[in-house]
Amino acid sequence: MDANASFGLLPEVQDFLRELPEGMLNASSIHRGGQKSRALIEEARDEIGRALGGVKNGRIVFTSGATEANNMAIGLPFASCGSQAGELVISAYEHPSVREAAFRLQTSGVKVKEVGAQSPTELIPSILANVTANTKLLSLMLANNETGDVFEVNKLKAACSFAPYIHTDCVQAFGKLPLFWNSLGVDMLSLSAHKIGGLPGVGALVLREGLPNEPFIVGGPQETRWRAGTENIVGIVSFGIAAKCVRDNRESLAREMEKQKSFIERYLSQELSDVTFHRFAPTQLPNTLNVHTPGVNADDLVVALDLKNILISSGAACASGKPEPSHVLLALGKSEKVARESIRISVTGLETMDQIRRAAEDIVSTVREMRGGVTA
């Protein structure tokens, strides 16, 4: 029930790992073994491109994960700015790997504008109102990892009076929503393998042609000198396999996700009349619920459910365990108390309905236990 933290390995990826081909040698080597590895990497790159509807006028660069991809994207437009650092506009709902990378640039003279809104109709106009002739980059995630809100990234490019680079974090959207590189109107797009059923430790940044080639990591010719370092061949191949599954099965899997999510929402609403569901945008991911359970600390509920083999989270996995409440919920106007009492449920769509039903029952019974047996 924590798919947004990590989807888990797809059966197709597990099959690949059980039958790993011999070699997997350094793909930069010119001998036969190296070229076999190179072919595997390029096949995976092609599969990811096909899953994005084709990457016309762009390049897929493999990274160690979406955190690196986001850091690379945020820093790229400012890498050679010198004293003319310029401005960066991000939404208040971004993943920490975007927010912290952005705020770190302030030490280099970059002016960072973090824009929020508590109405879905206000967000895009608010972001655009902060774009000036000095804005070099605008970053807005396509789908929020905590609430499941989907934002209208495709409206940004045409509406910008000026022409900044646009980056979107598509980590949670990939595999759950129709995602087409050529219609998003962005210059950079971040992805992660383990959010769609591949191995952890590999991600990708899709870059539009014409961007300044300022590598985040130097020291080798890999990834056409966009990102040095010997490639994680096994991880990259798993990414390609998972991307092919996205292309082949996304629609049917998304329907199953929506069915499971809807059941959980109905059941919790019927059994716990005071729960509320945090939503912001009119369009949501098919698998994600952010639930306020009044009177129950979210971290305590996560631990109690873990003892029953039900895995949920109290926010972004990379932020779990921190004492601070969710910055996303605070930005949506929720109180600190509400934020600390809110959990995230995110399904894979691969569970059986019997598993979903039993999980929902366990969530309800555990909330009641933690309330001292009081039924809402």
Backbone φ and ψ of 125, nearest 5°: -60, -35
- Residue 171's nearest CA partner among 83, 73, 265 is 73
DSSP letter for each residue of 72-101? HHHHGGGTT-TT---EEEEETT--HHHHHH
Which residue of the set 81, 170, 245, 318 is catalytic? 318
- Residue 71's nearest CA partner among 238, 217, 235 is 217
Q: How far apart are the first and last CA of the chain?
A: 23
Q: By three-state DSSP, how is residue 36 classified?
A: helix
Is 160 tagged catalytic?
no
Q: Are 143 and 151 in contact (CB under 8 A)?
A: yes
User: Which residues have CB under 8 Å from 51's CB, separation 6+?
Assistant: 174, 179, 243, 244, 246, 247
Task: Match 């076999």 to its residue by tokens.
Answer: 36
Residue type, 160: C
**Residues designated catalytic:** 318
